């Protein structure tokens, strides 16, 4: 707590404390989702849990004769093999989670489990499956979730820490923070490499643009360079599609800066050393793809309820359908929890939808347009890359794409908006600070509302009749620690994260303005806030080391055409 308060007062701590603080906040947020969500309540969680338990027991490759029409058969403890039965409430948000049978700790005899993730790279599963070697029953599964949450927290923390090392970091950090939608936090609490894929893509992109931004002196951004290396290795060994997101992130990063910066960076000895370290790890991912492609057939299945193969349909039709539905996925970027059965409240969708629209429109309003090359490339990728990937699966599996698959690219797109805004002065007027307060508290409210709304879906079910009162009077199911305790903890952690962000963007300004601060009668909170909020440029510069913000430096930034 002392470290947190001192870091908040400083506004921007040094990189290592920053990383530790952010990792703690993300780990708590993901961990609370992990505990609040009933077992197997995250999408495709049974398949990935069974895969993880099999991998740590030495079943890495698909064995001959173990693959059947509904997945790959593996030998795991029975409490793991029976996890598909936990999903009795999926696709039916009126059904509370009390229909699921208990997961007993002594149910450990070996049985056959079925997973559709049989040919996935084992790296993620080796780490996440470790708790099942010394724990059993429901505690083991919750521990697996927490391990996965910790992995995601480390990469998100590394990505945000890297962004603070930009020469003018405030807009990129702000937009990246607003991109952390309830859906991303929910996914971070489940067992699914999709969540790690999102976090690692964000970290790779953030670290890469920081290296490009500091191309004359890469020594000062060695942590960002290490972040790129670690994220590259993880993405190469997460899922096959992860390499696509890595490539997209690197291309957008290159397009966000002048070409000569990229050429200069890749002649830097530190960058070349980082490449030499990353290449072997990436090659392991390619080696796995080769082994999986040439091994015994692995018959995976599409997510239940959405498979719709079209073996004779022309490919262009799938491509056009995907293009037509591009913006249909935006609610899923914001929050469609569970097995696509629990959308976030309409207010939450409205708030984040407005923020996303504003971010997409901003590049059209800030001249010159050619300075937004990275954004234009990322926007084109958002349209074309998912459509091309879906088209490849059109005949065999039909239209199976979900919004969460595109979230790595969505994060890259919106962070690129923040990069383009760096040339503008970050507003510090009393009005701007007050707007920030209102918006940040609205974000806290929306995150907490989504959390308790999803808990309501599992505790009592969501019916046509409002049943909020039954959360208190007669809950059908309760998560560990109880829904109310978890909600209160989530509110506090979210508020702590928002407080840290606010004090970073507006050093010395309080997130809550007290009426007593006016020091006399007749001065209300608004006037007191204005008096308290007058910034001193010299003080801001001293408490915000290494921001490079034009406001704190007291001079405008002048850039040439196309320079970022």
- Structural domain includes residue 553: no
Residues 443 and 400 reside in one and the same domain:
no
| Percent above pLDDT 70 for the chain | 84
Q: Say yes or no to pLDDT of 151 above 70.
A: yes
Residue 247 structure tokens: 């490539």
Name the strand (E) or helix (H) holding 73.
strand 71-77
Task: Taking residues 220-232, report their average pLDDT.
Answer: 94
Query: How confident is the model over 107-121, as pLDDT tens digits?
Result: 889 999 989 888 899
- Structural domain includes residue 146: yes
Q: Residue 284 and residue 170: Cα distance in Å, rounded? A: 37
Task: Taking residues 13-34, report their average pLDDT.
Answer: 91
Do 396 and 309 touch, CB atoms closer than 8 A?
yes
Task: Taking residues 231-248, report their average pLDDT.
Answer: 94
Q: Tell me 404's DSSP state.
A: G
Highest mean pLDDT among 90-104, 300-314, 436-450: 436-450
Question: 305: pLDDT confidence band, cut at 50, 70 and 90?
Answer: very low
Residues 119 and 214 reside in one and the same domain:
yes
Residues 414 and 437 reside in one and the same domain:
no
What pLDDT, on a 0 to 100 scale, did the predictor assign at position 66?
55
Highest mean pLDDT among 165-169, 216-220, 293-297: 165-169
Residue 523 structure tokens: 């001065």
Query: What spatial distance separates the first Cα and last Cα of the chain, rounded to whole Å?
Result: 38
- Structural domain includes residue 385: yes
Q: Say yes or no to pLDDT of 391 above 90.
A: no
Question: 395: pLDDT confidence band, cut at 50, 70 and 90?
Answer: low
- Structural domain includes residue 562: no
Task: Taking residues 377-406, report their average pLDDT.
Answer: 87
Query: How confident is the model over 458-474, as pLDDT tens digits?
Result: 999 998 888 888 889 88
Mean pLDDT of the chain: 85
Q: Nearest Cα to 549, choosing from 5, 12, 158?
A: 12
Query: How confident is the model over 30-87, as pLDDT tens digits?
Result: 999 999 999 999 999 999 999 999 999 998 887 655 555 567 889 999 999 999 888 8
pTM: 0.87
What pLDDT, on a 0 to 100 scale, did the predictor assign at position 343?
94
Domain final position from 423, 446, 471: 423
What pLDDT, on a 0 to 100 scale, did the predictor assign at position 309?
54
Higher-confidence residue of 562 and 211: namely 211
Residues 480 and 394 reside in one and the same domain:
no
Task: Taking residues 338-351, report their average pLDDT.
Answer: 93
Higher-confidence residue of 323 and 150: namely 150
Q: Nearest Cα to 146, choosing from 170, 129, 167?
A: 129
What pLDDT, on a 0 to 100 scale, did the predictor assign at position 465?
82
Task: Taking residues 487-500, report their average pLDDT.
Answer: 97
Residues 437 and 417 reside in one and the same domain:
no
Residues 222 and 325 reside in one and the same domain:
yes
- Structural domain includes residue 327: yes
Q: Residue 59 and residue 143: Cα distance in Å, rounded? A: 21
Q: Say yes or no to pLDDT of 539 above 70.
A: no
Domain that holds residue 447: 430-544
What pLDDT, on a 0 to 100 scale, did the predictor assign at position 294?
73
Largest Cα span, the chain: 83
Residues 331 and 435 reside in one and the same domain:
no
What pLDDT, on a 0 to 100 scale, did the predictor assign at position 312?
63
Higher-confidence residue of 510 and 181: namely 181
- Structural domain includes residue 554: no
Residues 406 and 435 reside in one and the same domain:
no
Domain final position from 370, 398, 423: 423
Q: Residue 507 and residue 295: Cα distance in Å, rounded? A: 57
Q: Say yes or no to pLDDT of 401 above 70.
A: yes
Spell out the residues 6+ positions from residue 207 whose beta carbon is closer than 8 angstroms to its own. 158, 159, 162, 224, 225, 226, 227, 228, 231
What pLDDT, on a 0 to 100 scale, did the predictor assign at position 515?
58
Task: Taking residues 202-228, report their average pLDDT.
Answer: 92
Q: Say yes or no to pLDDT of 126 above 90.
A: yes
Instruction: Tell me the Cα Rg of the chain.
Output: 24
Residues 343 and 199 reside in one and the same domain:
yes
- Structural domain includes residue 538: yes
Q: Say yes or no to pLDDT of 8 above 50.
A: no
Residues 74 and 135 reside in one and the same domain:
yes
Residues 382 and 486 reside in one and the same domain:
no
Q: Say yes or no to pLDDT of 258 above 90.
A: no
Spell out the residues 6+ positions from residue 255 whose beta carbon is closer than 8 angstroms to its own. 373, 374, 376, 377
What pLDDT, on a 0 to 100 scale, did the predictor assign at position 534?
43
- If one counts the domains in the chain, the total is 2
Residues 66 and 179 reside in one and the same domain:
yes
Highest mean pLDDT among 172-176, 264-268, 532-536: 172-176
Spell out the residues 6+ positions from residue 158 whose beta carbon is closer than 8 angstroms to its own. 19, 203, 206, 207, 223, 227, 230, 231
- Structural domain includes residue 556: no
Q: Say yes or no to pLDDT of 304 above 70.
A: no
Query: How confident is the model over 324-334, as pLDDT tens digits?
Result: 888 889 999 99
Q: Say yes or no to pLDDT of 226 above 90.
A: yes
Residue 88 structure tokens: 């009795």
Domain final position from 423, 454, 478: 423
Q: What is the number of helices (H) and of strands (E) in the chain?
A: 24, 5
């Amino acid at each position: 707590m002392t470290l947190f308060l001192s870091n908040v007062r400083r506004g921007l701590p040094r990189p290592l404390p920053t990383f530790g603080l952010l990792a703690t906040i993300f780990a708590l947020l993901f961990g609370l989702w992990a505990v609040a969500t009933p077992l197997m309540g995250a999408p495709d969680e049974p398949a990935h849990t069974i895969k993880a338990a099999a991998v740590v027991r030495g079943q890495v490759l698909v064995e001959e004769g173990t693959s059947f029409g509904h997945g790959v058969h593996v030998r795991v403890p029975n409490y793991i093999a029976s996890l598909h039965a936990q999903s009795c409430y999926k696709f039916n948000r009126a059904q509370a989670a009390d229909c699921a049978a208990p997961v007993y700790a002594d149910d450990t005899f070996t049985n056959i489990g079925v997973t559709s993730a049989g040919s996935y790279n084992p790296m993620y599963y080796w780490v996440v499956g470790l708790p099942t070697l010394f724990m059993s029953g429901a505690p083991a599964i919750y521990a697996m979730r927490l391990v996965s949450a910790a992995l995601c927290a480390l990469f998100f923390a590394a990505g945000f820490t890297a962004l603070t090392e930009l020469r003018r970091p405030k807009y990129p950090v702000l937009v990246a923070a607003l991109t952390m939608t309830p859906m991303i936090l929910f996914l971070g609490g489940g067992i699914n490499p999709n969540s790690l894929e999102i976090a690692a893509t964000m970290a790779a992109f953030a670290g890469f643009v920081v290296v490009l931004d500091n191309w004359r002196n890469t020594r000062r951004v060695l942590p960002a360079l290490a972040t790129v290396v670690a994220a590259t290795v993880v993405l190469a060994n997460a899922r096959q599609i992860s390499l696509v997101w890595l490539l997209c992130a690197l291309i957008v990063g290159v397009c966000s800066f002048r070409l000569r910066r990229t050429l200069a960076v890749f002649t830097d000895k530190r960058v070349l050393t980082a490449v030499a370290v990353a290449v072997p790890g990436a090659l392991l991912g390619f080696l796995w793809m080769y082994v999986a492609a040439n091994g015994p057939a692995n018959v995976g299945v599409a997510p239940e309820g959405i498979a719709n193969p079209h073996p004779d349909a022309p490919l262009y039709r799938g491509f056009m359908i995907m293009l037509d539905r591009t913006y249909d996925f935006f609610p899923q970027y914001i929050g469609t929890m569970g097995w696509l059965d629990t959308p976030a409240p309409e207010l939450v969708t409205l708030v984040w939808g407005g923020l996303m629209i504003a971010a997409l429109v901003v590049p059209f309003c800030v001249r010159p347009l050619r300075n937004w090359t990275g954004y234009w490339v990322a926007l084109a990728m958002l349209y074309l890359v998912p459509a091309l990937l879906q088209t490849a699966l059109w005949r065999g599996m039909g239209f199976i794409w979900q919004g969460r698959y595109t979230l790595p690219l969505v994060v890259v797109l919106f962070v690129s908006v923040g990069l383009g805004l760096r040339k503008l002065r970050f507003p510090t007027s009393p009005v701007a600070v007050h707007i920030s307060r209102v918006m940040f508290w609205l974000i806290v409210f929306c995150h907490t509302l989504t959390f308790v709304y999803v808990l309501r879906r599992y505790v009592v079910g969501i019916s046509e009749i409002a049943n909020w009162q039954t959360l208190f009077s007669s809950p059908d199911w309760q998560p560990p620690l109880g829904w109310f305790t978890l909600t209160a903890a989530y509110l506090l952690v979210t508020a702590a994260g928002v407080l840290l962000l606010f004090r970073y963007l507006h050093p010395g300004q309080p997130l809550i303005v007290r009426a007593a601060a006016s020091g006399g009668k007749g001065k209300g909170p608004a006037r007191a806030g204005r008096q308290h909020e007058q910034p001193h440029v010299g003080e801001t510069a001293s408490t915000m080391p290494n921001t490079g913000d034009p406001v704190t430096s007291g001079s405008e930034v002048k850039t040439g055409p196309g320079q970022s």
